[in-house]
Structure 1
Amino acid sequence: MTLRSKVKYNFVNGKIQQPDENDVNFPNWDRCNITISCWIMNSISASIQPSIFRFKTTYAMWKDLQGRFSKTDFSRISDIQEEIFSLKQGDLNISDYYTKMRILWDEFDDLRPVLECEYNQVPKGLNAVYAQTRSTIMMMDPIPPLEKVYATVAQYERHNILPSDTNEPTLAAFSSAKGPK
């Protein structure tokens, strides 16, 4: 995203190619190339940096990294799917459970090949107290994205599960109070 927001993505995808060193645009290209190279180097693991330091252009760096790391790892995809389907809320609060689920789905989305179908992202591992909320979400067409599912479950949790302040009057207290005679 940074490369696109800084209008530098065309350097790494090869659309902006290195001009001749005598070209009037070379100093500007070189400055951008060095800046992007630094961004890339600072964004990757220190153990990988020496293997791409030798490249003179960000395009060459990017192609090397893409060749090494953009392979579809079906074994890892299968492992992540299993983790997603077996993740249980247990003692986690909704926020922590959602965070774990979101991390798994993001990794899954990053690894899987582009497919035409959408995946059902309703967490199956929610505690039983959320069964009605989960059923309601499952009946929605289309099923909302995980962020909306989280918001719905968190709202249910806030209104129905979390302990309320015992000093606040409740609706029952108001309904049983006698009005003036």
Structure 2
Amino acid sequence: MTGKDDSIQLINNHLDRKNYMYWSYVMKNFLRGKNMVSYVTGTKAKPSVPQAENFDLLIDAWETDNSKVITWINNSVTQSIGMQLAKYDTTNEVWNLLEILYTQSNFAKQYQLECDIRALQHNDQSIQDFYAAMSDLWDQLAQTESKELTDFEPYIVRREEKHLVQFLMALHSDFEGLRGTILHRSPVP
């Protein structure tokens, strides 16, 4: 039985310029599962000592794995981003470029996510789809928080109350009665 060729395997999460933090988290975990994360970190460097035993085999194996990882990365980014990567030969170069291009300061990322949350409106979506979209933004925002905050229970309670307020504010006007009922409940759900 032959081994399965997974070199064209796809990552379901695509980098789209706004979600670098989450994309890099998903991609690193995927690569850890494939025992290939050392290619993006640069710790698995291209063999460079021609006198080494089996040098040709080592080079071939490195180039094969490096190409697999580059393919996986290309399959998980938008086409316009992928086109920027074509001039790089190593996974580490590709990874570093993406990090430079799409890493925002925490403050800038927080600002953008808060703007996106405020702009999100229920409109004609189902409640489930709307909640999923808002939850995605909340999760990205939570990734920008310091460890001290995420370990502090009163902060977590306050954050969840804030999420409920944001969700209720963005609900379609058809839900005004439900919104009022929830706001006047004690304790708040």
2:44 corresponds to which residue? Answer: 16
Identity within the alignment, %: 23
Is it true that 1:81 corresponds to 2:135 in the alignment? no
Change (3 A) 1:123 1:84: farther
Q: Larger C-alpha radius of gyration, 1 or 2?
A: 1
Correspondences of 1:50-69 after superposition (within 5 Å): 50-69=83-102
In 2, the alpha carbon distance for the partners of 1:79 and 1:45 equals 20
1:16 Cα deviation from its structure 2 partner: 1.0
The structure 1 residue matched to 2:182, chosen from 130, 140, 147, is 130
In 1, the alpha carbon distance for the partners of 2:186 and 2:137 equals 19
Q: Could you say what the CA RMSD is over the residues aligned between the two structures, in angstroms?
A: 3.0
Change (3 A) 1:131 1:86: farther
In 2, the alpha carbon distance for the partners of 1:63 and 1:115 equals 25
Correspondences of 1:125-164 after superposition (within 5 Å): 125-126=167-168, 127-131=179-183, 135-137=187-189
1:105 Cα deviation from its structure 2 partner: 1.3
In 2, the alpha carbon distance for the partners of 1:105 and 1:74 equals 15
In 1, the alpha carbon distance for the partners of 2:146 and 2:102 equals 16
Gapped regions of structure 2 (runs ≥ 5): 1-28, 151-155, 169-178
Report the TM-score, using the length of structure 1 for normalisation: 0.60
In 2, the alpha carbon distance for the partners of 1:48 and 1:88 equals 29
1:99 Cα deviation from its structure 2 partner: 0.8
In 2, the alpha carbon distance for the partners of 1:134 and 1:79 equals 32
Higher RCO structure, 1 or 2 (CA under 8 Å, sep 6+): 2
In 2, the alpha carbon distance for the partners of 1:93 and 1:132 equals 24
Correspondences of 1:36-51 after superposition (within 5 Å): 36-51=69-84
1:101 corresponds to which residue? Answer: 134
Higher helix content, 1 or 2: 2
Amino acid at match of 2:164: P
CA contact (8 A) 1:14 1:59 kept: yes
Gapped regions of structure 1 (runs ≥ 5): 138-181
In 1, the alpha carbon distance for the partners of 2:33 and 2:46 equals 21
Change (3 A) 1:31 1:133: farther
Aligned residues between the structures: 136
